[in-house]
Chain A
Amino acid sequence: MTTAVQQAGGTVDRPSSSSLADVVDTILDKGLVIDAYVRISLVGIELLTIDARIVVASVDTYLRFAEAVNRLDIAQDKAGLPELVGDMEHGGAKHKTKGALQGALEAAGDTVQELVGDRREPERVPRRRRRDEEED
């Protein structure tokens, strides 16, 4: 195995064995297709997730992204865009009298402090549930 010892990020992740999701993604619809005459079946396959690789941009997706933005830690904002942060109700109102950049920095600092305690909810994994394990 060439898997590197995990460092603090910044390396390619090389799983030593494929997860079911990876397997589905790797082999479904792929591989040599043999002539229809010689095969009994590609039938009778219970497809687990035929839609696993289809990304549909839906209103649900949009709303989810919007909510993710809403919950986004303001400290994630790119620095150096004071007008952006300054415009926000948040920093804007509070630091009206200060220079834009300074206001922005403080606004960011405030928000980090405000949010650090109650946030960090578990990361949502918007992966479709699969009806697999049921009839093992």
Chain B
Amino acid sequence: MPTASAGTYLFGIVPADVEVDPDARGVGDPPGTVRLVRHGDIAAMVSEIAVDRPLGRPQDLLAHERLLDATVTEVPVLPVRFGAVLTGTDAVVDELLAPNHDELLAALRELDGKAQYVVKSRYVEAAVLGEILAEQPEAARLRAAIRGKSQDATRGERVRLGELITQGIEAKRQVDVRRVVAVCDPYSVSMDVREPAHELDAANLAVLAKTADEQQLVRALDDLAQEWDGRVKIRLLGPLAPYDFVTDLRPEG
């Protein structure tokens, strides 16, 4: 069992023929310098880290993602899940790079020229409530029933109304997710539809796309944002490292 006070934090896998910006900083406190551990045609992006204190401060998460996202704009990268620490450089080579060299290299080649984009969209509350009230007479009736009355006196009606609204949003979400998927599809290599993270979330999805297609993807989403102006707000994150798409690339075990 590891008793060492230092470990090697692993960010991701990149092709061996790249350089790391000497100013790049890792995770931990103080953050270590980021360097490459090369083996054959691949390399692990790592930094030294003290293991006697837990990771997970906001700046650790930010540092992890920023380094990987900055990398993907230049070279393909396989992001490793946040928090992976190995016992040292030897372990990186002997236990990770050497035994998995060929499949990691194949995955890097497959990801060359591609990046992840995350589409997040959220309903504008007043607009979506208005839609549901207009579509569902029962909701409109309940609204009238609670109007001007105390919460306690109308608790049953309120719960029922809220339930109808939740179901109404869920139904809209199903339709709208399909729409966002259809809009992104022509520019996507792969897609991962994510679960909603918030009760007003519309569609959230991760898209793996060629960076050369980025402008077209943005334009297509701009058109949708225009169509949904005032109803759904759309955000686009990226280019990001392909966080959602790497677990597929390696067989289990």
Interface check A97, CB cutoff 8 A: no
Interface check A114, CB cutoff 8 A: no
The answer to whether B246 and A32 touch across the interface, beta carbons within 8 angstroms, is yes
Q: Cβ of B133: which chain A residues have Cβ within 8 Å of it?
A: 69, 72, 77-78, 84
Residues of B190-240 whose CB lies within 8 A of A: 194-199, 201, 214-215, 218, 221-222, 225-226, 229-230, 233-237, 240
CA distance A18 to B78 in the complex (A): 19
The answer to whether A62 and B83 touch across the interface, beta carbons within 8 angstroms, is no
Interface check B80, CB cutoff 8 A: yes
Q: Which residue of A lies closest to B53 (CB)?
A: A44
Least CB distance from B183 to A in Å reads: 11
Q: Cβ of B83: which chain A residues have Cβ within 8 Å of it?
A: 41-45
CA distance A72 to B131 in the complex (A): 12
Interface size class of B (residues with CB under 8 A): 35 or more
Count how many chain A residues have C-beta atoms less than 8 Å from C-beta atoms of the other chain.
71
Q: Mark B63-75, 1 if CB is under 8 A from A, else 0.
A: 0111001000000
CA distance A41 to B3 in the complex (A): 12
Known contacts A29-B81, A45-B55, A69-B129; A87 and B166 CB within 8 A of each other: no
Interface check B12, CB cutoff 8 A: yes
Q: Mark B104-130, 1 if CB is under 8 A from A, else 0.
A: 000000000000001010000111011
Residues of B within 8 A of A (CB): 2, 7, 10, 12-13, 51, 53-59, 61-62, 64-66, 69, 78-87, 91, 95-96, 118, 120, 125-127, 129-131, 133-134, 137, 139-144, 146-148, 151, 155, 157-163, 165-166, 194-199, 201, 214-215, 218, 221-222, 225-226, 229-230, 233-237, 240-241, 243-244, 246-247, 249-250, 253
